[in-house]
């Protein structure tokens, strides 16, 4: 690894052709976090500067703060097709996922939990911790295309299954999962055994990028996060269908219907609402443009030898903004740093684990070899991505791969 990085540094200083090229900054890591939109910054600043009360306080400034909180709740609920009382604000997607998994298990006697094998780590790690605590947990396999195998998932269901969690859009490869089909499987459980397991979906990468309504999906719990759509970091939410019983993770206050103690992040919630309003205005246009730009980027790299796409080409089954590919023989993190020298910013996968030197669990679950998983990179587009960005990134990618293959022959 050190040898590869050393050679990379030499290449960065010695190959003059790169220095002759006009340097751009092309950010293709929106699935890690998306830059804050101008209206989001304005909304956050407005609350920071002018709303100083605690929503739990009884005086006028507290009531003013409560109005900010409830307006944000209404905006989010409307975008989900939910009732405002079903929205629980959290510190982000990780906390919301933990609340869904732990909160369901702790509220039931001898529960059984099923999660897909390529969930985000904030679902997988709580599930593994439950298993360590003696809870029965199963992991549903996925197929090589990156879709959960509903037939195998159905075989895992039990009379005492309490929770099934299947991500709506996988955060690394962008595949759209058959959550509505899973909901039908749970109807069969209710018919056979008289009790329907709760269905949770992590919609962090789907929210605003793939339109959905919670009633149409027939889900009980949905995780969303602000900073994947140009909102602030540090704020998210869990949709909790009316009648669903959860145990809280954070105690010490009765905020958020008693499910999440602590003073809410009002500036973050105001910014979250501003980001949602932006996507409500511009979403249809943006989704079409992201789809077009993703297809253009894919086409620009189509004839690059040895490249393997981990994101399927069927646009009907993928999110419009995520592409994942492997270049066997090269390490993903080395390619990331080589692209950075060209001003192109991508990632090796989930930002939560991008600094750990191990293969992607998502790609391994899809049946990729360890070498293919180690060589993967994710390119994720956002509202500010242009056609010029895509063309520049494609050229930089080609040159980076050519350069690294010269330096690190197979």
- Predicted confidence (pLDDT) per residue in 216-268, tens digit: 999 999 999 999 999 999 999 999 999 999 999 999 988 999 999 999 999 99
Domains of the chain, each with CATH number or no CATH: 2-36+283-407 (3.90.1150.10), 38-276 (3.40.640.10)
Starting from the edge strand earliest in sequence, which strands make up the sheet with 376-380, in order? 308-309, 322-326, 376-380
CB of 33 closer than 8 Å to CB of 233:
yes
Contacts of 111 (CB under 8 A, 6+ apart): 104, 105, 135, 136, 160, 161, 162, 163
- pLDDT of amino acid 410: 56
Residue 338 and residue 335: Cα distance in Å, rounded? 5
In 133-265, alpha helices (H):
150-156, 179-193, 214-217
Residue 11 has pLDDT above 60, yes or no: no
Residue 323 and residue 387: Cα distance in Å, rounded? 16
- pLDDT of amino acid 21: 54
- With vertex at residue 272, the alpha carbon angle to CA 37 and CA 105, rounded to the nearest 5 degrees, is 140
DSSP tag of 258 = G
Q: How confident is the model at residue 215 (pLDDT cuts 50, 70, 90)?
A: very high
- pLDDT of amino acid 15: 47
Q: How confident is the model at residue 19 (pLDDT cuts 50, 70, 90)?
A: very low
Q: What is the dihedral of CA 188, 191, 193, 197, to 10 degrees?
A: 50
Which phi and psi angles does 219 have, rounded to 5°?
-100, 160
Most confident of the ranges 21-30, 206-215, 299-308: 206-215
Residue 196 has pLDDT above 80, yes or no: yes
Residue 74 has pLDDT above 60, yes or no: yes
Q: Hey, which residues are catalytic here? A: 352
């Amino acid at each position: 690894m050190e040898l590869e990085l050393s050679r990379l540094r030499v290449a960065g200083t010695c190959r003059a052709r790169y220095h002759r090229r006009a340097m751009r900054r092309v950010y293709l890591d929106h699935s890690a976090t998306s830059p804050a939109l101008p209206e989001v910054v304005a909304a956050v600043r407005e609350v920071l500067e002018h709303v100083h009360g605690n929503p739990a306080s009884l005086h006028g400034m507290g009531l003013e703060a409560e109005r900010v909180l409830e307006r944000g709740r209404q905006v989010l609920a409307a975008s989900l097709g939910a009732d405002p009382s079903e929205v629980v604000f959290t510190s982000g997607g990780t906390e919301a996922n933990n609340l869904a998994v732990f909160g369901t298990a702790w509220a039931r006697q001898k529960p059984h939990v099923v999660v897909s094998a390529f969930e985000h780590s904030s679902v997988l790690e709580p599930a593994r911790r439950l298993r360590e605590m003696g809870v029965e947990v199963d992991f549903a396999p996925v197929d090589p295309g990156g879709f959960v195998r509903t037939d195998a998932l159905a075989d895992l269901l039990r009379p005492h299954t309490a929770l099934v969690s299947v991500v709506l859009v996988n955060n690394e490869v962008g595949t759209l999962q058959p959550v509505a089909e899973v909901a039908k499987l749970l109807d069969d459980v209710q018919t056979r055994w008289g009790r329907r397991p709760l269905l949770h979906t992590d919609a962090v990468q789907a929210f605003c990028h793939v339109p959905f309504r919670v009633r149409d999906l027939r889900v009980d719990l949905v995780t969303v996060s602000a900073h994947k759509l140009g909102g602030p970091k540090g704020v998210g939410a869990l949709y909790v269908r009316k009648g669903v019983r959860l145990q809280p993770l954070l105690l010490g206050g009765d905020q958020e219907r008693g499910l999440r103690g602590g003073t809410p992040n009002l500036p973050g919630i105001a910014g979250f609402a501003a980001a949602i309003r932006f996507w409500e205005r511009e979403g249809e246009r943006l989704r079409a443009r992201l789809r077009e730009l993703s297809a253009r980027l894919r086409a620009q790299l189509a004839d690059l030898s040895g490249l393997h796409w981990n994101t399927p080409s069927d646009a009907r089954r993928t999110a419009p903004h995520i592409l994942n590919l492997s270049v066997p023989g090269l390490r993903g993190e080395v390619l990331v740093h080589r692209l950075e020298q060209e001003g192109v910013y991508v990632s090796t996968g989930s930002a939560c684990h991008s600094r750990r030197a191990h293969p992607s669990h998502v790609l391994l679950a899809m049946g990729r070899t360890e070498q293919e998983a180690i060589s993967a990179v994710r390119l994720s587009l956002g509202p500010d991505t242009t056609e010029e960005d895509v063309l520049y990134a494609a050229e930089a990618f080609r040159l980076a791969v050519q350069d690294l293959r010269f330096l690190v022959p197979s």
